[in-house]
Structure 1
């Protein structure tokens, strides 16, 4: 991910410096309020410690986790997914139910007063069949009637957001526009709403010109580690694709219905590759 003056919010470093900023939670609180479409300001957030011991960061798949609770006991989980994730909805359910079970196991509930739980996921790619970039899902009946709002799943698909700066109005739109464009925007092209305090503070955390030597060193270490993780992930994907191609070629060869040239065109590989696989049979 190329970085100019500003570090991308959707990077590991950027996510932690903004959403995960424990010393200044204004950005996180305003973002959460916008994401859940609440008119009531969130006054405080308390970052959960060790709530997801084995689930916090999975650099290999580009997922960064944040778990916090507001002053009313409402639970929030925020995830960032950069790569393709066709089964990410299942992962969202896993995280949400893990958090739910944690609350239940501690005995901090009764059935009449369970805390609200929001599972929020930012996705760089498109995964849902919905048209809108912001999707809110609850338990509903077959006719669409709300059955329960205690657990809410929210997805933000950045790839579906295509509004220009002049069209941006709500805090939700300002948030997503900033997440998509900050790292490619020159300081002279600031949208007016980036002067709003909640966004200004977050942007300042991502301004490479204002980083201390220690912050620069940490950013360099994180960037290098992420680059290695991405490289390893791409290699895994290539190996998986190649194995699928091999399996498909073997199946087609076993049918004895297509020529080597036809199989190569069907699978999208070279004839030499098909010849190599055929000799391994």
Structure 2
């Protein structure tokens, strides 16, 4: 971790949250690049609801460092990155999403005021055996999919291991995807990062700063050890 050439991986949840809470523009630009790809309504603005990172807490060492945000329509967004396989992953995502749905209503409030929850999980492992690297889930009628039970919950899962650089994607999203695979300044020089993408250019600069910070390097290593210990208990 002493090599100035090395960049901390964005697939680590601490690095992910540190980068995307450093500037709201980064998260807004990344999410809109993804939503454009999956033909989902774009966001005009976003507010991060849990920007704090508490590296000294016991919960930090073992908990989920997720991002909770709210868009201009009041929709709630749950964004996370995970780099180890969890056989109960689907149940966990449903649990977190249901928690946000529950919190979106004040006790006694009418159910019509329930806000929509949009969940995005970025995985650095293969979860499903099918080839699609983006999965989209809604609560639908199996025989009549045009008649959903509710539109208050949508879950997206992005499996990085399945992405191929040759895949046809909007350039905006493809550029952001490349950031998850950059591990060094040499990678930065060889990956196609256009100069006319200011949010991504600033994000790269911020990732360099995070990677060069000794305290953050130590937190990253502590977090990785905790994740590996947790993953080994799941085997």
TM-score normalized with structure 2 length: 0.79
Alignment of 1:139-218 (within 5 A): 139-143=139-143, 145-146=145-146, 147=148, 148-164=150-166, 169-179=170-180, 181-184=181-184, 185-193=186-194, 195-207=196-208, 210=209, 216-218=213-215
Cα distance in 2 for residues equivalent to 1:143 and 1:155: 23
Contact persistence 2:210–2:216 (CA under 8 A)? no
Q: Which runs of 5+ in 1 are unaligned?
A: 51-56, 241-281
Contact persistence 2:175–2:192 (CA under 8 A)? no
Structure 1 counterpart SS, 2:9 = coil
TM-score normalized with structure 1 length: 0.68
For residues 26-54 of structure 1, what are the alpha-carbon distances to aligned partners after superposition, in whole Å with 9 as ceiling and x for unaligned? Answer: 1101222233345754232222249xxxx
The total of aligned residue pairs comes to 225
Alignment of 1:23-42 (within 5 A): 24-36=23-35, 37=38, 41-42=42-43
| Cα offset, 1:79, TM superposition | 1.5
Q: Which has the higher contact order (CA 8 A, sep 6+)?
A: 2
The residue that corresponds to 2:18 in the other structure is 17
Cα distance in 2 for residues equivalent to 1:154 and 1:202: 23
Cα distance in 1 for residues equivalent to 2:99 and 2:16: 22
The residue that corresponds to 1:132 in the other structure is 132
Moved more, 77-86 or 187-196: 187-196
Cα distance in 2 for residues equivalent to 1:234 and 1:139: 30
| Structure 1 residue 228 corresponds to structure 2 residue 225 | yes
Comparing both structures, which one devotes a greater share of its residues to helix?
Answer: 1
Q: CA RMSD in A?
A: 3.3
Larger Rg: 1
Q: Which runs of 5+ in 2 are unaligned?
A: 52-58
